[in-house]
């Protein structure tokens, strides 16, 4: 019998160990920003797909798809260049580092696609989101 992993716990534990605040779900991500929390790593709800064995026709594994994102409180007055070079580039480097580190230890990556966001929501959050598809090691 295949064991169903808990990717949310795996991401939460990893993010907290890196010293960041963690939020699961986009509304939690938005609502947690305040004066004390200026950088946050979030995870969108995870979609789980089954992998069917070629011969057996049974479920042999699971793959997961989610958005892992890191954001900071932004300033409306900053130009795009300011945001990119002072914030987004640094956040993307950190997100790539986290994904690579997880890939070496706990997940097998299938695909990764990045999207940047600027002045999102009422809090003017700037950040990077990575849609990742993976299996657990």
pLDDT tens for each residue of 14-28: 999 999 999 998 677
Residue-wise pLDDT for 73-92, tens only, equals: 887 788 888 888 889 999 99
Of 13 and 31, more confident: 13
The reported pLDDT for the residue numbered 30 is: 67
Entry pTM: 0.87
- Could you list the beta-strand ranges (E) of 5-98: 21-24, 39-43, 47-52, 59-73
The correct answer on CATH 3.30.70 for the domain covering 7-136 is yes
What local confidence, expressed as pLDDT, does residue 121 receive? 76
**Sequence ranges of the domains in the chain:** 7-136
Contact in structure between 26 and 32 (CB atoms under 8 Å): no
- 77-134 pLDDT, tens per residue? 888 888 888 899 999 999 999 999 999 999 999 999 999 998 887 778 899 999 999 9
Query: Tens digit of pLDDT for each residue in 32-45?
Result: 777 677 789 999 99
Q: Are 20 and 41 in contact (CB under 8 A)?
A: yes
Q: For position 57, what pLDDT does the model report?
A: 86
């Amino acid at each position: 019998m295949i064991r169903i992993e808990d990717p949310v716990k795996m991401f939460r534990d990893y993010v907290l160990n890196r010293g960041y605040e963690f939020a699961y779900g986009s509304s939690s991500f938005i609502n947690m920003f305040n004066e004390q929390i200026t950088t946050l790593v979030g995870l969108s709800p995870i979609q789980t797909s089954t992998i069917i064995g070629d011969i057996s026709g049974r479920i042999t594994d699971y793959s997961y798809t989610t958005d892992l994102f890191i954001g900071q409180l932004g300033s409306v007055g900053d130009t795009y260049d300011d945001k990119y070079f002072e914030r987004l580039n640094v956040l993307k480097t950190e997100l790539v580092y986290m994904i690579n580190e997880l890939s070496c230890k706990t997940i097998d990556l299938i695909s990764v696609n990045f999207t940047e966001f600027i002045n999102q929501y009422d809090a003017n959050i700037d950040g990077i989101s990575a849609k990742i598809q993976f299996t657990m090691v």
